Amino acid sequence: MQRILSTQLRAQVGAPVRLAGWVHRRRLLKTVAFLIVRDAAGLSQVVVTAPDVRAQLEELTEETVVEVTGTVAANSAAPAGVEVVEPTVRLLGAPAVPPPFDLFRPELAATLPTQLDHAALSLRHPSRTAALRASAAAVAGFRSTLDRLGFVEVHTPKIVASSTESGANVFAIDYFGRPAFLAQSPQFYKQMLVGVLERVYEVGPVFRAEPHDTGRHLAQYTSLDAELGFVDDHRDVMAVLHEVLAGMVAATGATAAMPAQIPDVHFTEALKIAGAPLDEPDLAPAHERAVGEWALREHGSDFVFVTGYPMAKRPFYTHPEPGRPAYSNGFDLLFRGVELVTGGQRLHRYEDYVAALAARGEPIEPYASYVETFRHGMPPHGGFAIGLERFVARLTGAGNVREVAAFPRDRHRLTP
């Protein structure tokens, strides 16, 4: 008999079935006992009355993997309107040692560090499993939107000869006796590949040796990167990003307030909205929250673009704002008051790269093979990078990105 999942029980009323999964919970009442079995699809209720099976059930521990054969019966009082009766129960492994926290309660009571110390177990809690499924759906939405728009998926090196975003926050690696680094982003590669495929995206890990212990930073996170050529400016990039975000939200089945036009404010306006000093070169988290509140209040939007970030705070490959060279064609997208996406138009002329690096006092040599590409014909282009864990955390209301990553990494955590 083929195993079926919990969600398939309803179609099998009256039929013999075989279930398999984890002992989620037992309820041992006086005349009857209930075994709740958890599988990938959800929970099944198994009704036990036979004394020998009850005796077996009394010995079972939570999380033991079992196979249950029995007959499906309709019961409007049962969780999904059906239950399995007359069961036989067979262990598919040794009896489990119960986890250090109860997985069957509606909320995980353990502290976040305890959950993370036992991630392989805490992830089994339906609330944590839901975040993993939301991540998978969000990534599928990212890809399907970009596939539709003619983007090609690429895979680029994670071991690089020079840091991409800044000299700090980079992990050093011994590469066959040579110094190398873990890539902080696929930035240079996705740009070079615009010269090949025009429109590319990558879903992959990026690495930041973040010294901070915050609820929104990880030492490794999943970056959803896209880059496209033949743009007029950053507005073409923002239009693609809007479609991508809509696709991601829809794929998760969650709801987020996204008007037909995502509001956008120039950086100088954002400072005013946030009540920040007008000579600030960047938005602090409190400023981002204020701009997010403004977008929701004034435009009914959970999303808001801040354009025109000062060049001083953007990487050297950023395209300046025409006519206002202190500002850039770089933008951030805030989602519910937190920076979720960084993007913008990039430089595309070799001479501009040479000048940009010189202006920052940086040598060309570490960037040679990247900068060289721009001598050989590169179209105007731009792109963006979405932090997957931030997206899922904001979408599901998790206060900490560690709640939505499978096995998060930070300066204190290297296991499991």
Residue numbers in the known binding site are: 165, 208-210, 216-218, 339, 342, 346, 387-390
List all residues 6 or more positions away from 105 whose beta carbon is below 8 Å from its beta carbon: none
DSSP, collapsed to helix, strand or coil, labels residue 139 as helix
Q: Is residue 319 at the binding interface for its own copies, with CB under 8 A as the rule?
A: no
In the complex with its own copies, the residue whose CB is nearer, 19 or 265, is 19
Query: Distance (Å, rounded) from C-alpha 230 to C-alpha 226?
Result: 14
Q: How far is CA 49 from CA 6, 17, 35, 76, 186, in A?
A: 21, 18, 11, 19, 59
Q: Is residue 405 at the binding interface for its own copies, with CB under 8 A as the rule?
A: yes
Check: CB of residue 119 under 8 Å from CB of residue 132.
no
> Quick one: which of 72, 110, 139, 248 contacts its own copies (CB under 8 A)?
139
Q: How far is the CB of 163 from its own copies (least distance, A)?
A: 13
Which amino acids are annotated as binding site for L-aspartate, given as ranges?
165, 208, 342, 346
Secondary structure tally for the chain: helices H, strands E: 11, 18
Binders of its own copies in range 46-85 (CB under 8 A):
63-65
Q: How far is the CB of 50 from its own copies (least distance, A)?
A: 24
Q: Is residue 161 at the binding interface for its own copies, with CB under 8 A as the rule?
A: yes
- Note if the bond before 416 is cis, omega within 30 degrees: yes
Q: How far is the CB of 310 from its own copies (least distance, A)?
A: 26
DSSP, collapsed to helix, strand or coil, labels residue 98 as coil
For tokens 């929104």, name the residue.
216
Q: Is residue 113 at the binding interface for its own copies, with CB under 8 A as the rule?
A: no
Q: Is residue 416 at the binding interface for its own copies, with CB under 8 A as the rule?
A: yes
Q: How far is the CB of 57 from its own copies (least distance, A)?
A: 15
Q: Is residue 133 at the binding interface for its own copies, with CB under 8 A as the rule?
A: yes
Q: Is residue 3 at the binding interface for its own copies, with CB under 8 A as the rule?
A: yes
DSSP, collapsed to helix, strand or coil, labels residue 367 as helix
Assigned token pair, 174: 């011994």
Q: Is residue 26 at the binding interface for its own copies, with CB under 8 A as the rule?
A: no
> Quick one: which of 27, 105, 360, 375 contacts its own copies (CB under 8 A)?
375
Check: CB of residue 298 under 8 Å from CB of residue 266.
no
In the complex with its own copies, the residue whose CB is nearer, 96 or 296, is 96
Count of C-beta atoms within a 10 Å radius of residue 389: 25
Query: Distance (Å, rounded) from C-alpha 343 to C-alpha 138?
Result: 19
CA nearest to 407, candidates 389, 387, 393: 389
Q: Is residue 348 at the binding interface for its own copies, with CB under 8 A as the rule?
A: yes
Which string of x and - marks every residue 230-269 that binds its own copies (by CB under 8 A)? x---------------------------------------
Q: With CB under 8 A as the contact rule, which of the stretches 175-183, 244-252, 294-302, 319-327 interacts with its own copies?
A: 175-183
Query: Distance (Å, rounded) from C-alpha 348 to C-alpha 373?
Result: 10
Q: Is residue 101 at the binding interface for its own copies, with CB under 8 A as the rule?
A: no
> Quick one: which of 176, 261, 275, 297 contacts its own copies (CB under 8 A)?
176
Q: How far is CA 231 from CA 77, 158, 343, 379, in A?
A: 59, 27, 13, 8
> Quick one: which of 54, 78, 169, 204 contacts its own copies (CB under 8 A)?
204
Q: How far is the CB of 203 from its own copies (least distance, A)?
A: 8
Q: Is residue 123 at the binding interface for its own copies, with CB under 8 A as the rule?
A: yes
Binders of its own copies in range 352-371 (CB under 8 A):
369-370
**How many residues touch its own copies (CB under 8 A)?**
90
> Quick one: which of 32, 79, 147, 213 contacts its own copies (CB under 8 A)?
147
Written as one string, the DSSP assignment of 41-64 is TEEEEEEE-SHHHHHHHHH--TT-
For tokens 């507005």, name the residue.
235
Check: CB of residue 246 under 8 Å from CB of residue 256.
no
Q: Is residue 121 at the binding interface for its own copies, with CB under 8 A as the rule?
A: yes
